[in-house]
Amino acid sequence: MRAALILALVMPASILPASVMSMEPPSDTRQATAQEQPLPKIAPAPGFTLTSQDGAQVSLADLRGKVVAVTFIFTRCSATCPVLTPMMSLVQDRLGRDFGNEIAFASITVDPEHDTPETLKLYAQMHGADVAGWSFLTGSPRTISELTRRYGVLASRNVSGDIEHTFLTSIVDRHGILRVQYLGVRFDPEEFRRDLLSLLREP
Amino acid sequence: MRMNESRRRFLATFGSAGAIGIMGVSTPSAQEAPPETSTIRLFKMPGICIAPQYVAEEMLKSEGFKDIEYFDTGINTYAALMSGKADIGMAFVANFIVHLDAGAPIVLLGGVHTGCYELFGTESVQGIRDLKGKTVAVPELGSAHQLFVSSMMTFVGLDPARDVNFVVYSPAESIELLAERKVDALMGFPPVPQELRERKIGHLIVSSGLDRPWSQYFCCTVGANRDFARRNPVATKRALRAILKAAQFCSAEPERAARLMADKGYRYDFALQTMNEIRYASWRDYAPEDAVRFYALRLREAGMIKSTPNKILTEGTDWRFFDELKRELKG
C-alpha cells in the first residue's frame, strides 16, 4: 500500500499502467495463468557476487532455488529510479508469503563509488523494502561495469558527471536461467508479478 | 579436430536455435549459445530514422560482439546487405520486397517502427491524388523514396509509371527545388522533414508515421544477408535483440539517444525531434508479415514486382527470432 502511494506520488497517472492505479488486490494469478505459455529460456543469467546493504556477500548462485528479479538502480537517481523501486516495492507487497521464501529481488547499484552498503540500507528503508527477500547490492566499479555490460544495461557518466543508465529488469528462474527482461520503467507490475509466479509453478 | 569443432558448433547452434527454416531453424529456441562470430558489420546512411541501428552499438557489445563495424553506404543500403559487405541492418520494407522479388540473398527478420517518411509539397499538392501530372523529387530511381510515393499512388488508384514525373536529385538539391517550386513534391526521411519544417518550405501532405494506412504497418524493418543469418543464427538473433533494445531506448530516453546520434555526426536538434516523433517503442504492436503483404500488394499493383505476397513471405522472411524476442523483451 505504501509502495503504491509512493509510486502514485512520483509518477504521473497518465503513464502508470491501469493495474498500478487500481488498488484492488490481485486475483490468484497462480491459477489464472496456468494455461499461459511458459516464459522463454534466454540464457544462463550472468552470475555475480556483491556486497549487500548489510555488508554480507550475496551471489546469484546463493539464490538458486528462488525466482530472482535483478534490476539496476542508483540512490541519487532523480529521474526514473524513483519510479522503478516503488513499483518493485508494490510487487513485493503483492507477492505476499512467496516474497522472500520463493522469490527474491536484487537491486544492483550502478553508482558504486557513492552507494555504500549504508547508503543502500537507507534507500531500502525509504522504499519499504523487505530485506529478507530484497538485496541492495554494490561492488567494485569494475565488477559493476562488467555486470551491467553482461546484462545489457548501459550506464555511464555524462559531461556533468551525472550517471545515466538504461532500465532493465531481468527475471531469473530457480535454475539460474534468464527468462525475460523488462525494458524501461513503464511495464505493467501485474504482468511482472504474474511472470514471477509462473516460474514458481515450474519444476 | 576441425570436424569435432564443427560438430560441436552445429549441435550448439541446433540446440540453441532449433531446426531448419530460412535461417536453418524452425523449432523454438532453447538457451542461447554465444554468437558464432564476434564481428558484425552494419551500414551507416544519411537517415536518422534508423537510429536504433547506431544506438545499438553498446547493446551489441553486451551481446558478445567485439568488432562492430559501421560503414557508409549512402542510401543504397540494400546492395551492401546483398553483397555481404553488411551483415544486418534496418531499411524500408518496400525495397526489401523489390530485392527479394529479384532473388536477392536477403532475409527479413522483423520490424522496428511504422514510419519516418514524409511527403512534402507545394500549395499545388494538397493530397496524393494531386500528384497526377506533377514532378516529384527522389534521390534515386528505385529508392525507398520513390517506392513509397509509388505505393501511395497505387493505393489511391494512380499509376506511378504514367501519372507522375519522378526526377532525381540529392535530398539537399530537392529541398532547394521545392523552395523554388521547381518540383511539386518530395519524399524525405529525417533529417529532411526537420529541415523543411525549420525553413518553412512546403507543407506536409502525408506522414507515414501518423497517417493511415501507412502508420499501421512497419516501415523500417530489419534484414540480414541470408548467408550470414544461415551461418550465424545465434549472432543474428543477438544482433536483432540489440537493435530492438536500442529502439526501446530511443523511445524511453530520446535526449540520450539524440546525443549518441550527435556523436556520430547527426544534428542533435533534428535527431531529438526524430526520437520524439517516431514511435520506436511500438515494435511489439505490429506484425511484420502484415507490412510485407501490404507493400507487396501495392508494388505488384504498380507493376514493380512479379511475386505474390505469399511468395515473398515464404522465401524471404523468417520472423521466428522476432516472435521470440517479443516474448523475451517486455516493457
pLDDT digits (tens, 9 = 90+) for A100-144: 999 999 999 999 999 999 999 999 999 999 999 999 999 999 999
Please report where in the chains the cell 501532405 appears, as a residue.
B205
More confidently predicted of B35 and A36: B35
- How much is the pLDDT for B1? 35
Distance from CA of B223 to the nearest CA of A (A): 22
Mean pLDDT of the B313-325 span: 95
Separation between Cα atoms, residue B72 and residue B66, nearest integer Å:
20
- Per-residue pLDDT at A12: 44
Residue B73: predicted pLDDT:
79
**Cell for B18?**
532449433
CA distances from B3 to B12, B16, B34 (A): 14, 19, 19
Q: Is the pLDDT of residue B238 over 80?
A: yes
The pLDDT of residue A13 is 42
The mean per-residue pLDDT over the stretch A177-184 comes to: 92
Instruction: Tell me the shortest Cα–Cα distance from B107 to chain A, in angstroms.
Output: 23
Is the dihedral angle over the CA atoms B99, B87, B105, B29 positive or is it negative? negative
CA nearest to B244 within chain A:
A183
Q: Which residue of B has its CA nearest to A40?
A: B328
Q: How far is B329 from chain A (nearest CA, A)?
A: 5
Within 8 A of B252 by CB-CB distance, chain A residues are 166-167, 183-184, 186
Q: Is A150 on the interface with B (CB under 8 A)?
A: yes
CA distance A168 to chain B (A): 9
Q: In B, which residues are within 8 Å of A180 by CB distance?
A: 327-330
Is A28:A97 a contact under the CB 8 Å cutoff? no
Answer whether residue B321 shows pLDDT above 70: yes
- Tell me, what's the ipTM? 0.76
Q: How many helices (H) and strands (E) does chain B have?
A: 14, 11
Examine the pLDDT at A89 and tell me if it is beyond 90. Answer: yes
pLDDT in tens, B287-312: 999 999 999 998 998 888 999 999 99
pLDDT for position A196? 96
Question: pLDDT at position A26, please?
Answer: 47
Position B31 scores a pLDDT of: 61
Distance CA A84, CA A175 (A): 25
pLDDT band of B16, cuts 50, 70, 90: very low
Q: Is A152 on the interface with B (CB under 8 A)?
A: yes
pLDDT tens per residue, range B88-123: 999 999 999 999 999 999 999 999 999 888 999 999
CB pair distance less than 8 Å for B327 and A40: yes
Cβ–Cβ contact A113 with B under 8 A: no
pLDDT tens-digit readout, A40-69: 999 899 999 999 999 999 999 999 999 999
The least confident of A18-22, A191-195, B132-136 is A18-22
User: Cβ–Cβ of A164/B249 closer than 8 Å?
Assistant: no
Q: In angstroms, what separates the C-alpha of A51 from chain B's closest C-alpha?
A: 23
B249 with A187: Cβ contact below 8 A = no
Mean pLDDT confidence for A1-22: 45
**What is the largest distance, in Å, between two alpha-carbon atoms of chain A?**
50
CA dist., res. B80 & res. B281, Å (int): 27
For residue A17, what is the nearest residue in chain B, using CA coordinates?
Answer: B331
Does residue A146 belong to the interface with chain B, where contact is any CB pair within 8 Å? no
Closest to B281 in 3D by CA, of A153, A151, A182: A182
> Which chain A residues touch B250 with a CB distance below 8 Å?
none
Predicted confidence at residue A44, as pLDDT, reads 92
Q: Is residue A80 very low, low, confident or very high in pLDDT (cuts 50, 70, 90)?
A: low
Q: Which residues of chain A neighbour B28 with C-beta distances below 8 Å?
A: 40
Contacts of B59 in chain A (CB under 8 A): 152, 154
Confidence (pLDDT) at A31: 47
Q: Which residues of A touch B235 (CB under 8 A)?
A: none
pLDDT digits (tens, 9 = 90+) for B57-89: 989 998 999 999 998 877 678 889 999 999 999
> What pLDDT score was predicted for residue B4?
44
pTM of the full structure: 0.80
Which residues in chain B are closer than 8 Å to A150, comparing Cβ atoms? Answer: 62
**Do residue A182 and residue B32 have CB atoms under 8 angstroms apart?**
no
Confidence of residue A14 (pLDDT cuts 50, 70, 90): very low
Confidence (pLDDT) at A203: 84
Which residue of B66, B240, B329, B330 is the best one to mutate when testing the A interface, meaning the one whose CB has the most A CBs within 10 A? B330
Q: Are A175 and A159 in contact (CB under 8 A)?
A: no
The percentage of chain B sitting over the pLDDT mark of 70, rounded to a whole number, equals 90
Query: Using CA of residue A169, residue A174, residue A178, residue A179, what is the dihedral sign?
Result: negative
Share of residues in chain B with pLDDT > 90 (%): 63
C-alpha to C-alpha distance for B303 and B148, rounded to whole angstroms = 14
Whether chain B has a CB inside 8 Å of the CB on A177: the answer is: yes
CB contact under 8 A, A152 and B245: yes
User: What is the pLDDT, as a whole number, of residue B22?
Assistant: 56
State the pLDDT at residue B17. Answer: 40
Q: Distance (Å, rounded) from C-alpha B225 to C-alpha B222?
A: 10
Judged by CB atoms closer than 8 Å, whether chains meet at B252 and A167 is answered as yes
Between residues B36 and A7, the one the model is more confident about: B36
- Measured at the CA of A124, the angle between CA A121 and CA A130, to 5 degrees, comes to 115
pLDDT at A197: 96
Look at residue B25 and tell me whether its pLDDT is greater than 50. no
Nearest-CA distance from B219 to chain A in Å?
23
Q: Does A175 touch chain B (CB under 8 A)?
A: no
Q: What is the pLDDT of residues A93-111, one digit of tens each?
A: 999 999 999 999 999 999 9
Size of interface A-B (CB pairs under 8 A): 63
- The pLDDT assigned to B37 comes to 96
Do residue B330 and residue A182 have CB atoms under 8 angstroms apart? yes
Return the residue in A15, A154, A180 with the most chain B beta carbons within 10 A, the one to mutate for interface testing.
A154
Q: Which residues of chain B approach chain A closer than 8 Å at the C-beta?
A: 28-32, 58-59, 61-63, 245, 248-249, 252-253, 256, 281, 324, 327-331
Cβ within 8 Å, pair A180-B327: yes
In this complex, do B63 and A152 lie within 8 Å of one another by their Cβ atoms?
Answer: yes
